[in-house]
Amino acid sequence: MPGIYDEPEFYEAACAYRDVPAEVDALIRWSDKHRDTGAGAFRSVLELAAGPAEHARELARRGLEVTALDLSPAMCARARDLAAAAGLSLTVVEADMRDFSIPRRFDLAITMLNSLCHLLTLDDLLWHLASVARHLTGGGLYIAELAHPADYFTAERRTSSEWSTEVGTGTASVRWGGGTDEIDPITQITREHVSVTYRKRGGPVRTVTDVVPNRFWTATELMAAIRLAGGFTVAARYGDFDNDSPVDAPEAWRMILVLRRE
Ligand SMILES: C[S@@+](CC[C@H](N)C(=O)[O-])C[C@H]1O[C@@H](n2cnc3c(N)ncnc32)[C@H](O)[C@@H]1O
């Protein structure tokens, strides 16, 4: 049975609620603010667990040299096809973000939409941080967007697990976790039940279901892992893309780490 990451069109429709150009504005704003002043011109970006590479393609559209990496062959093919159709130069690498090797360094690495939830153990996270560090220029940044811990620790979640989207090609009704899905109190992994029903204009209605393991990383675990891995300092922690609110603001709904390569 194909999973949700084998069905890039379904995944894209499900995640179409995001304002990708505005999120890319924030990535560029934070790069200008937090990169070392001596780090040289900002030219290159590596997107990890990129999926269909929405952010990578937007960054390429803005003239940067961009590489997108993902484990899923279907997602890599989709990223290549969409970039080619838009006339964008994008390098796509099929690899595991836990341990990868690309023969160049980047000024910025990014991981969007809580994709670090696919690192299920501390060893996965440490290997990942070491791989990212090896691929960054000195003074370059790693920006990782994660779920906000309030979604796990407070009575009221700050994000929803059920939503609908309208895209040019149709509509999607999505359930991603929530409901009766429970976090394992020892491993902090939730087997999230995912269901995406895509009503493509002029096409059949189809539903893709999947069970996706999601590891919740607390803020303090992440700080400890970053210290243990070495090679990074924490430059900032934001709670959204629009207002640069800190991660501990009452209105914060994402946990966005800005790490600087030492
Ligand atoms: C939630 S999607 C996010 C995609 C993209 N970052 C976005 O913002 O739309 C997670 C992606 O992580 C990829 N993935 C999962 N485990 C991975 C791994 N170990 N290495 C690389 N990619 C991985 C999946 O194939 C999927 O495309």
Q: For residues 142 and 136, give the distance between their C-alpha atoms in angstroms, rounded to a whole number.
A: 8
**Å from CA of 37 to ligand 1 middle:** 31
How many other C-beta atoms lie within 10 A of the C-beta of residue 235?
17
pLDDT at residue 176, as a whole number: 96
Of 104 and 155, the structure prediction assigns the larger pLDDT to 104
State the residue for tokens 């990223």. Answer: 79
The residue type found at 195 is: S
With the most atoms of ligand 1 within 8 angstroms of its CB, the residue from 70, 129, 174 to mutate is 70
Output the residue whose Cα is nearest ligand 1's atom 10: 115
Q: Please, which pLDDT band fits residue 41 given cuts at 50, 70 and 90?
A: confident
> How confident is the model at residue 169, as a pLDDT?
86
Quick check: helix, strand or coil at residue 81? helix
- Residue ranges in the chain assigned as alpha helix (H): 8-14, 20-34, 54-61, 73-85, 122-134, 150-153, 219-229
- The label of the residue with tokens 């109190």 reads 185
Binding site membership of 46 for ligand 1 (Cβ less than 6 Å):
no
Looking at residue 80, what is its pLDDT? 98
Residues 6+ positions from 55 with CB-CB distance below 8 Å: 20, 23, 24, 27, 47, 110, 112
Is the pLDDT at 2 greater than 90? The verdict is: no
- Is residue 70 lining ligand 1, measured as CB closer than 6 Å? yes
In this structure, which residue's CA is closest to atom 26 in ligand 1?
51
Contacts of residue 53, defined as CB under 8 A and 6 or more positions apart, other chains included, come to 47, 68, 70, 75, 79, 82, 83, 90, 92
Mean pLDDT (the chain, rounded): 96
Instruction: Name the region of 177 (left: φ>0; alpha: ψ -120 to 50; beta: rest).
Output: left
Closest CA to 260 of 134, 136, 99, 113: 136
Confirm or reject: Cβ of 5 under 6 Å from ligand 1.
Answer: yes
Q: How confident is the model at residue 62 (pLDDT cuts 50, 70, 90)?
A: very high
Q: Which residue, 52, 26, 44, is CA-closest to 109? A: 44
